[in-house]
């Protein structure tokens, strides 16, 4: 236990349980409190710090404690505070080896994750800064944040500029649509194009569609809205008008479609420069999102212990440095889609977008473009819905979606190897109570009639 206490950041209980499994006979002679006390005394003897109560205290420990300072050497860039005593704090981590590449970066992607934030000290998110090189994204900066206001984001970005002054010439910043972050980008990088992530746009509007309970409404308004971000900024307002008129075709039967049209106008119509991904080959933050999905596990899982997180973060940072060097040596990093397929799709979108650059674009031209960017299957759904509308067959039950069966087949012969059979949907406790009451009433009624 003393050895594990010295070389790991595992909790005393984790250490005790591991050693107990390895030496069960000895484990019977020591209590849990005694083991935890032994581990804590050992860590205090070697200078292992206790869990800090704040990010400021953690930042001080990373500088003053010899063990922790050695762990974060070359990566920790200090504590960042907003100016003027504003609330918020961040610990910034960037490896020295990536600063030259960051200094010449023309595109960066910024995204945050809340899942991997330790419970102690209090934090709100890990802000991850990625740069694009050789058509691949590399996560190069990590800010452990307490707070999510524009002044804190601005302070982080200005500290980033101190480390990599050439970043002032960055041309493109891709992020989600967080208002505080967008404000900070405009203040620190006034010459850069700030572009929202197409994936985040589609996800946000799909979530709102569900909130308005439009699942059984015609799909055309939602499907056409997917293509809104592909329009040039100066045509986004026409795209919004197209969506509004589609909603008007059905709003007498599906009243919430009016609210949907108002949402699109209010939430997205007023920021066409950010919504539009027109003429951009990088339209999403998907590379950054994919990194985030694995980041939580690699950082120690959800809500890890803070020193476990700090240790794992250094491994993550150093691995990205190695990946960057491999890329410079033209060594493949991961399996990717065939480049020909990606280029073909990009060429098709760009070719279609060029048709919108001529003068005299009409609302019908915009609608045709937005519909043409959908898959043939989705386009066919729209055609079928328009046919039903023309024939007067649209009612509030026309597009009711059938629930998917919990089990496709009960036959063992139909099972696919390696795939678990789906279980039937379990009733909620509330539904079970209602069912039991109904059953009791039926039995009472039967007894009375008998």
| Average pLDDT of adjacent 10-residue blocks, the chain of 450 residues | 73 84 85 85 69 92 88 92 90 94 92 90 92 86 93 95 94 91 94 91 93 92 94 94 95 92 93 89 77 85 88 92 86 58 68 81 92 92 93 87 58 48 52 51 46
Q: How far apart are CA 387 and CA 305, in angstroms?
A: 59
C-alpha span between 225 and 179 (Å, rounded): 21
291 neighbors 43 (Cβ within 8 angstroms): no
| pLDDT score recorded for residue 162 | 95
- The DSSP element (H or E) to which 108 belongs, if any, is strand 107-113
Q: Which residues contact 408 (CB under 8 A, 6 or more apart)?
A: 414, 422
Asked if residue 281 lies in contact with residue 174, where contact means CB atoms within 8 angstroms, the answer is no
- For position 416, what pLDDT does the model report? 46
Residues of the chain with CATH 3.30.420: 57-196+284-325
CATH of 57-196+284-325 among 1.10.150, 3.30.420, 3.40.50, 3.30.70 = 3.30.420
Q: Retrieve residue 163's tokens.
A: 């480390």
| Joined tokens for residue 5 | 């206490």
User: What tens digit of pLDDT does each residue of 51-77 get?
Assistant: 899 999 999 999 998 888 988 999 999
382 in Cβ contact with 263 (< 8 Å): no
Q: What is the dihedral of CA 262, 267, 271, 272, to 10 degrees?
A: -60
In 3D space, the residue among 215, 154, 219 whose CA is nearest the CA of residue 183 turns out to be 154
* Coil, strand or helix at 193: strand
294 touches 320 (CB < 8 A): no
pLDDT of residue 432: 52
pLDDT at residue 415 in the model? 47
């Amino acid at each position: 236990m003393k050895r594990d206490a010295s070389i790991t950041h595992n909790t005393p209980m984790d250490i005790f349980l591991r050693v107990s499994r390895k030496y069960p006979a000895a484990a019977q002679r020591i209590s849990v409190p005694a083991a935890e006390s032994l581990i804590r005394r050992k860590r205090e003897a070697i200078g292992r710090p206790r869990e800090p109560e704040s990010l400021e205290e953690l930042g001080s420990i990373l500088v003053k404690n010899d063990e922790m300072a050695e762990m974060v050497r070359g990566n920790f860039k200090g504590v960042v505070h907003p100016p003027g005593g504003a609330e918020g704090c961040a610990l910034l981590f960037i490896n020295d080896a990536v600063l030259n590449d960051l200094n010449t970066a023309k595109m960066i992607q910024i995204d945050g994750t809340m899942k991997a934030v330790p419970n102690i000290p209090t934090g709100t998110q890990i802000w991850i800064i990625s740069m694009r090189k050789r058509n691949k994204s590399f996560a190069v900066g990590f800010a452990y944040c307490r707070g999510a206001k524009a002044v804190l984001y601005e302070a982080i970005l200005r500290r980033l500029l101190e480390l990599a002054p050439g970043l002032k010439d960055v041309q493109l910043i891709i992020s989600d649509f967080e208002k505080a972050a967008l404000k900070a980008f405009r203040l620190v990088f006034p010459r850069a194009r700030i572009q929202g992530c197409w994936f985040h746009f589609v996800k946000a509007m799909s979530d709102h569609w569900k909130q308005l309970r439009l699942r059984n409404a015609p799909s055309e308004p939602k499907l056409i809205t997917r293509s809104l971000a592909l329009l040039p900024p100066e045509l986004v307002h026409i795209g919004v008008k197209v969506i509004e008129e589609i909603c008007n075709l059905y709003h007498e039967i599906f009243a919430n479609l009016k609210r949907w049209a108002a949402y699109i106008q209010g939430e997205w119509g007023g920021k066409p420069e950010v919504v539009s991904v027109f003429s951009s080959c990088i339209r999403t933050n998907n590379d950054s999102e994919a990194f985030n999905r694995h980041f939580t596990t690699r950082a120690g899982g959800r809500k890890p212990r803070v020193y476990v997180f700090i240790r794992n973060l250094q491994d993550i940072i150093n691995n990205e440095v190695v990946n960057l060097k491999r890329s410079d040596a033209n060594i493949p990093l991961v399996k990717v889609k065939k480049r020909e397929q990606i280029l073909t799709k990009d060429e098709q979108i760009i070719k279609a977008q060029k048709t919108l650059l001529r003068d005299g674009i009409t609302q019908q031209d915009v609608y045709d473009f937005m519909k043409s960017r959908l898959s043939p299957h989705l386009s066919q759904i729209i055609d079928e819905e328009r046919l039903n509308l023309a024939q007067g067959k649209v009612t509030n039950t026309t597009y009711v979606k059938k629930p998917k069966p919990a089990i496709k087949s009960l036959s063992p012969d139909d099972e696919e190897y390696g795939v678990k059979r789906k279980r039937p949907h379990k009733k909620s406790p509330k539904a079970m109570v209602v069912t039991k009451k109904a059953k009791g009433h039926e039995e009472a009624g039967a007894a009375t009639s008998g």
